[in-house]
Every structure is written in C-alpha cells, then in structure tokens.
C-alpha cells in the first residue's frame, strides 16, 4: 500500500467537520489505518479513533492527531478550499474550514504509521495511533480518556504529538517545560434594570457596565502581572440588547484567559471575578454578576528528559539549523490530558507550514503578523510540501527513538 498523502490532505481540507461531528474524517482515518494492518476501534470519546499495532516486546508509544475544523469561512482561494456549511450545535448554520491545520495532522499521522509499518522489522514495541475529536473545544482528549483510552487500549509509555504552525516549512520547533498556555473560558452576565433609552436615569445599564469591565480587565495584564509573565486576557464577545432605544436588563461578556502556571491561573481568575463584581457594584446593581467558568485546558508541559531525546533525533534528521526553540506559545491544547491520564511523559512540537520565501520576505519587511496567516485565520493555508514530508518524518523518527532504531 502506498498512500498519496497530498491527495489525502487536499480531500480532508475540502471536507472539514466541526468538533464531535467528524464522522467522515474519522471514517477515512479508520479505513486507512485498518488497511495498514492496525487493529482499529472507532467511536472512542464520540468520534475518536484508536489504532493499535503490536510489534513485539518494547515500549508503548502513542502518536496523537486532532481532526476537527472551525466555524470559519475559508478565503484562501485554493482550488481545494472548503465550501462546507453545516448547522452547529446551537442550530445556526455556519461555514466550516480547517483553519488550524488538523487536516495536516491527520494526514501526517497516517503517513507516519505507513512509514513505521514499512520499517517494522527495524523496531519493536506497540504503536497506538490516536485520532482525536474536538480539540477546538478542549474537550476531545478528556472525552477519549473518559471512554477508557488508557484502560481499554495499551497504556502509553510516552505521548507524542505535533501542530503545524506559521513557521517556514522545513522548520521544527520544540522546547522542554511549558510549551503552550493553559486556557480558561469565563462567561459574565451583568444583571441591570432595563428601560426606555430616552430615560436612562430609570435604568441600571448593564451594557455600559460591561464596557467598563472590558476595559478594566485589561489592567490584569498591564498592572497586576509581572512584566514578562505570560498572561493573556481577551474579551471575545458581548451579548446585550436588540434595539437602539431599549436599555437591556442584562449583558454578557465572554472572557478568555491564558496562563502557564496554576499560580498565575488562580490569580488571574480571581482578579476577573473581583473586577466584574466591583463594576457591578459601582453601577448600583443589586444583584452580583453571574460568573461561569466553563472550558479549561491545562498548560501543555513537555517532559524535559523526553524532549531532549526527541530534539536529538530531530537534529540528526533535519539538521541543527532546522530545529528551534519557539518559546512558550499562548495558544492552548488538550493533548496533555492523554499523557496525564496515562502517567506518561509528553513531547509536543511544532512544524512549519508557511512558504519559506514568503516567510523570509515578510520577516525582512517586519510584516510577519499581517503577511503570514496564522492558525484560525480564514487565509491559513499550509504549503503541501515540504510540510507533509516533515510532519511524517517527525512523528516517525520520534516514535522510533523510543522503539529503538
């Protein structure tokens, strides 16, 4: 069996699916892994796929890829661009795009498994390929764990994973310790008193209070966090009212917090609650705001000794110049839930998907942020090669570092 990975990638890119609805993607991954000779189980944690290849005595190595798309309308102009629209869990129709590269991840995982199968006479151990749903909801890894990922299948001795990034294609980036920030979602509803827009003195305006809170929340980073500490506080949505001449009775803001330590997380979430409660009191609200903490992803922390082993094999494979320390990234991941449940070290790295020439030109012009689309952008479009070759090789050589080469 010889897979055309470029065709597989383009097909997956053109047919993205939202979190926990990745039935087509999961079916393709399951079929290909089964054809490669692995024992495949579907429906793990919803739509997750687990494929196992026992190849003699040795360690158990888990390779993980995520597979969900995003509610983003693609604007790349590619001839394989997504035109998919679907009804989301809230009943609203949305466009869908692989704006974070999970199509790349699935393709590279399948390619790495194909490579490991072809080399099975040179290594010994058990390979566990994990195709995970719902990373974008930071829920899929835990769903698979709750469905017995580390009890029903061989428990991994190491968990390996990767993410395509707006680095030049050919570059691999990894670091020991905190690699990606933890993420928390907080919804705050202010309870005011509605009324006619012409008589604001009879109301307690929750929308004005929400706006004050949005501004004040930025002081958590600028005035309450140590310079250089990795803390991000963003307000991504305000929901209030439905007419220009009505002061609404309630207003809700959705806050996202990124931190890399439990100490920072506790301090920032406490500050969020303190600020919104104080703003409500300052506005004369008699009911405190409702604060709901929902989605949480812990920081992604790489094991130092395991990362050193992977880095050494990456340098051997790609060259010293191609292996960098990208610093701690403020994006978040849920892959750590799998390693934590298994009690296994985690190594998670990035690999470039940007056109090297375009990246170099933007870097020289100081326009990387505007000219090189990043993950979640409607223009995010990794170049097919050498992105896929590097992603396949990285997973394969990292696995063989544990299996013995």
Distance of alpha carbon 251 from alpha carbon 249, whole angstroms: 7
Look-up of token digits 């506790």: 266
Which residues share a beta bridge with 132? 66
Q: Is 114 a known ligand-binding residue? A: no
- Strand pairing category for 346-354 and 158-168: parallel
Q: Is 151 a known ligand-binding residue? A: no
Q: Say if CB 223 and CB 161 are below 8 A apart.
A: no
Distance of alpha carbon 359 from alpha carbon 320, whole angstroms: 20
Q: Say if CB 96 and CB 70 are below 8 A apart.
A: yes
- Our answer to whether residue 135 is catalytic in this structure is yes
CA angle 275, 233, 263 (to 5 degrees): 80
Closest C-alpha among 390, 397, 362, 400 to residue 170: 390
Q: Find all residues with CB under 8 Å of 138, minimum gap 6, and list them.
A: 183, 295, 296, 297, 332, 333, 334
Distance of alpha carbon 345 from alpha carbon 155, whole angstroms: 12
**Which residue out of 17, 135, 157, 205 is catalytically annotated?**
135
Distance of alpha carbon 13 from alpha carbon 99, whole angstroms: 9
Closest C-alpha among 102, 32, 128, 16 to residue 334: 102
Q: Is 100 a known ligand-binding residue? A: yes
Closest C-alpha among 146, 152, 104, 147 to residue 128: 152
The tokens for 230 are 């990795």
Q: Is 320 a known ligand-binding residue? A: no
Backbone angles phi, psi at 291, to 5 degrees: -115, 120
- Our answer to whether residue 226 is catalytic in this structure is no
Distance of alpha carbon 374 from alpha carbon 163, whole angstroms: 12
**Which residue out of 17, 68, 333, 334 is catalytically annotated?**
68
Closest C-alpha among 18, 162, 97 to residue 26: 18
Which are the catalytic amino acids? 68, 135
Annotated binding residues: 100, 102, 136, 163
């Amino acid at each position: 069996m010889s897979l055309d990975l470029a065709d597989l990638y383009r097909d997956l890119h053109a047919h993205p699916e939202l979190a926990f609805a990745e039935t087509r993607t999961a079916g393709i991954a399951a079929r290909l892994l089964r054809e490669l000779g692995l024992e495949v189980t579907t429906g793990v944690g919803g739509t997750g796929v687990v494929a196992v290849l026992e190849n003699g005595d040795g360690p158990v190595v888990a390779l993980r890829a995520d597979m969900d798309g995003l509610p983003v309308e693609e604007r790349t102009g590619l001839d394989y661009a997504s035109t998919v629209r679907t009804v989301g869990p809230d009943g609203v129709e949305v466009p869908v795009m692989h704006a974070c590269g999970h199509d790349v991840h699935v393709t590279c995982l399948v390619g790495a498994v194909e490579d490991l199968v072809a080399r099975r006479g040179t290594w010994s151990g058990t390979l566990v390929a994990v195709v995970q749903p719902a990373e974008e909801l930071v829920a899929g890894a835990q769903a698979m764990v709750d469905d017995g990922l580390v009890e029903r299948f061989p428990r991994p001795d190491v968990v390996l994973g990767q993410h395509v990034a707006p680095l030049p294609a050919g570059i691999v980036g990894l670091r020991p310790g905190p690699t990606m920030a933890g993420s928390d979602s907080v919804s705050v509803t202010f309870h005011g008193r509605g009324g006619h827009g012409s008589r604001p003195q009879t109301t307690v305006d929750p929308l004005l209070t929400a706006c004050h809170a949005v501004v004040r929340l930025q002081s958590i980073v600028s005035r309450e966090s140590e310079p250089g500490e990795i803390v991000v506080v963003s307000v991504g949505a305000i929901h209030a009212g439905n007419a220009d001449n009505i002061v609404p009775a309630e207003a809700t803001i959705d806050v996202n917090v990124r931190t890399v330590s439990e100490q920072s997380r506790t301090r920032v979430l406490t500050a969020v609650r303190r600020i919104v409660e104080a703003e409500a009191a300052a506005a004369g609200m008699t009911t405190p705001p409702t604060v709901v903490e929902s989605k949480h992803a812990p920081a992604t922390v790489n094991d130092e000794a395991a990362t050193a082993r992977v880095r050494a094999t990456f340098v051997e494979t790609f060259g010293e110049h191609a292996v960098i320390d990208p610093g701690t990234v403020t994006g978040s991941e849920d892959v750590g839930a799998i390693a934590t449940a298994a009690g296994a070290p985690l190594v998670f790295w990035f690999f470039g998907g940007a056109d090297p020439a375009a990246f170099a030109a933007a870097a020289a012009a100081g326009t990387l942020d505007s000219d090189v689309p990043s993950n979640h952008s409607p223009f995010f479009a990794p170049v097919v090669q050498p992105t896929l070759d590097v992603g396949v090789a990285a997973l394969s050589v990292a696995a063989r570092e544990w299996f013995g080469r």
